[in-house]
């Protein structure tokens, strides 16, 4: 067979921070995109050997199989507490959690807020897909007003079911937070920005500059009942107005980071 791909022509390949295991995510789901960005970042920063990931309960429960780093699996919502326990005894290692919106913004609210306010030197990658993916599409605290889910079949009624929760805005208020931003995974330009933010979050941690979190607006084509393209469109049209992208906290020392 003739090799037509020369190494110098390769523009895209599988990140070495991944294992050979293929993911269990639905086709078109942006969990995979987020994984890819994290893997590339760990590889670029030479962190694969010294990273410990903390997987959540949610669709990304098996994230520990996909990254070629040490990993632990937390109870639902408790990843920031578990990461705290690890980081406090291994302060020189890179510790990150990967959490969905049910995990982080509902059951794990106390753990995330206190990890942030303590300035726990960990990085949190927060996937906000406005729904509970794994359990089959129930309402999340982040679901949009009027959004139909299996537990808000007539659409989220804010009178009865409350309002969407903006975690980044809230966590940015914590003195312990060094870097808190919201990005989106719905198109290539935004994906590139998301990657830069993930890099900044890990740099923040490795420079000991406090708690860092990147919220990523993400899709759930399966439970939204849409194809992947429409899902990305839905993020743009419906989610962005409720969850504006932006930098909610960039501490002075983080803003001075050069990499």
Cα–Cα dist 100/62, whole Å: 13
Mark the segment that binds ligand SF4 (CB under 6 A) among 3-11, 73-81, 129-137, 160-168.
Answer: 129-137
Q: Label the pairing between strands 211-217 and 94-100.
A: unpaired
> Which C-beta is closer to ligand SF4: that of 179 or that of 224?
224
- Tell me the residue length of the chain: 259
- Which residues are within 8 A (CB) of 240 and not within 5 positions of it... i.e. 6 or more apart? 184, 217
Q: Is there binding between residue 31 and ligand SF4 (CB under 6 A)?
A: yes
26 binds ligand SF4 (CB under 6 A): yes
Question: What letters, b where the CB count within 10 A reaches 16 and e where it falls short, cover 195-211?
Answer: bebbbbbbbbbbeebbb
Partner from ligand SF4, other proteins, ligand TPP, none binding residue 130, C-beta < 5-8 Å depending on class: none
Of residues 107-136, which lie at the interface with ligand TPP (CB under 6 A)? 127, 129, 131-135
Identify the DSSP state of 154.
T
In the complex, the smallest distance separating the C-beta of residue 216 from ligand TPP, rounded to whole angstroms, is: 11
**Residue 156 structure tokens:** 């989220």
Q: Which does 204 bind (CB under 5 to 8 A by kind): other proteins, ligand SF4, ligand TPP, none?
A: none
- For ligand SF4, give the closer residue by CB, 23 or 253: 23
Contact assessment for residue 104 and residue 140, using Cβ atoms and an 8 Å cutoff = no
Q: Where does residue 27 rank: exposed (0-12), middle (13-18), buried (19+ CB within 10 A)? A: exposed
User: Around Cβ 48, how many Cβ atoms within 10 Å?
Assistant: 18
Q: From the list ligand TPP, other proteins, ligand SF4, none, pick the one residue 29 interacts with, judged by a Cβ distance below 5 to 8 Å according to partner type.
A: ligand SF4
Residues 33-72 binding ligand TPP (CB under 6 A) are: 57-60
Positions that interact with other proteins (CB under 8 A): 19, 48-52, 54-55, 61, 64-65, 67-75, 78, 81-86, 88-90, 93-94, 110-111, 113-114, 118
Distance CA 186, CA 71 (A): 28
- Where does this chain bind ligand SF4 (CB under 6 A)? 25-26, 29, 31, 59, 129, 133-134, 220-223
- Where does this chain bind ligand TPP (CB under 6 A)? 57-60, 76, 100-103, 127, 129, 131-135, 140
């Amino acid at each position: 067979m003739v090799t037509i791909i020369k190494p110098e022509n390769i523009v895209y390949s599988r990140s070495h921070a991944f294992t050979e295991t293929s993911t269990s995510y639905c086709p078109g789901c942006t969990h995979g995109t987020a994984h890819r960005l994290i893997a590339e970042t760990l590889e670029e920063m030479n962190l694969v050997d010294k990273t410990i990931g903390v997987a959540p309960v949610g669709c990304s429960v098996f994230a520990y199989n996909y990254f070629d780093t040490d990993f632990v699996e937390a109870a639902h919502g408790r990843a920031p507490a578990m990461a705290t326990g690890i980081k406090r005894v291994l302060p020189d290692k890179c510790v990150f959690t990967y959490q969905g919106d049910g995990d982080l913004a509902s059951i794990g609210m106390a753990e995330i807020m206190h990890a942030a306010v303590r300035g726990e030197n960990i990085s949190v990658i927060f996937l906000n897909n406005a729904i509970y993916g794994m359990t089959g599409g129930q309402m999340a605290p982040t679901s949009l007003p009027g959004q139909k889910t299996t537990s808000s079949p007539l659409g989220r009624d804010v009178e009865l079911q409350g309002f969407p929760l903006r975690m980044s805005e809230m966590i940015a208020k914590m003195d312990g937070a060094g870097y808190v931003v919201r990005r989106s995974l719905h198109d290539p330009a935004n994906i590139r920005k998301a990657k830069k933010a993930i890099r900044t979050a890990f740099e923040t941690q490795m420079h000991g500059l406090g708690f860092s979190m990147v919220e990523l607006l993400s899709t759930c084509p399966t439970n939204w009942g849409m194809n992947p393209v429409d899902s990305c469109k839905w993020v743009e049209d419906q989610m962005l107005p409720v969850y504006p992208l932006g930098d909610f906290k960039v501490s002075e020392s983080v803003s001075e980071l050069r990499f």
